[in-house]
Structure 1
């Protein structure tokens, strides 16, 4: 399943990194602690977070994550979106709660395997 397919299935808004929506998604990681994501997320994962600052993109780039979903209506900083475009990291947003997004992604990713 690609980032684009996930975005369409969940009704997510693409905020940056649209050129990389064709990336395959290998799994999902949910955390708001950057060090936790750095230690445990895996290449190709979609990361769900409430964090909105540019360091999110630095971590996503370091790990070669497929995309970042910012949940619960949190608005990413302009610098975050700019950095995401530079690095080619799709940033998707939603008003849905983190738990709901994670549950729906679990169903999608599991069904696609």
Structure 2
């Protein structure tokens, strides 16, 4: 278990929104299909994706996902950043691909 601030610092992610830096994350899920995320991602997890739009925040909030990591250098839309702040979902970014990001997060959380 690790909080989102520790995760972002340890893995050197870009921070777009960090409304609750002490929110705890215990797991991760990698997907770009939001219906898949809704059916399979766990509460208190990190979503690893390239979906850089407001709907991703809505799905994360619905499930209780604490953080989203946008991969491949994707930049969030301005309304995505606003939604992340409003829904208390950390929004982070990396130039890494989803495979590498998934591995690094799993290792940081001690689940790899």
TM tier, smaller? over 0.9
Q: Please give the alpha-carbon distance, in whole angstroms, between the structure 2 residues aligned to 1:66 and 1:82.
A: 15
Q: Normalising to structure 2: TM-score of the pair?
A: 0.94
| RMSD across aligned positions (CA) | 1.0
Q: Which residue of 2 aligns with 1:50?
A: 50
- Number of equivalences: 110
Q: Which residue of 1 aligns with 2:80?
A: 80
Q: Which one has the bigger strand percentage?
A: 2
Q: Please give the alpha-carbon distance, in whole angstroms, between the structure 2 residues aligned to 1:71 and 1:94.
A: 5
Structure 1 residue 19 displacement after superposition: 2.7
Q: Normalising to structure 1: TM-score of the pair?
A: 0.93
**Dislocated runs of 4+, deviation >4 Å:** none
CA deviations over 1:20-64 (Å, ceiling 9, x no partner): 121111100000000000000011000000001100000010011
Q: Which one has the bigger helix percentage?
A: 1
